[in-house]
Amino acid sequence: MDYRTLTRTWRGITAENRFHRAVVALLLLTNLLTLIALARADRTVVLVPPILEGEVNIARDKASRGAKEAWAMHVAQLLGNVGAESADFIRTALEPLLAPALRREVLAVIAEQVEAIKRERVSMHFSPDALAYDEATDTFFVTGMQVSTGPGAAPDRRQRTFEVRVGFRHYRPVITHLDVYTGGPRSRDLP
Other Cβ atoms less than 10 A from the Cβ of 184: the count is: 15
Residue type at 23 in one-letter notation: V
- pTM beyond 0.75, yes or no: no
Res 40: pLDDT: 82
Q: Answer positive or negative: Cα dihedral of 158, 163, 53, 174.
A: negative
User: Residue length, the chain?
Assistant: 191
pLDDT band for position 106 (50/70/90)? confident
From edge to edge, which strands make up the β-sheet containing 123-134?
123-134, 139-149, 156-169, 172-182
Query: What distance separates the 2 farthest-apart alpha carbons in the chain?
Result: 112
pLDDT band for position 118 (50/70/90)? confident
- Give the rounded percent of residues in the chain with a pLDDT score beyond 90: 28
Residue type at 99 in one-letter notation: A
Angle of helix 87-94 versus helix 65-80 axis, rounded to 10: 150
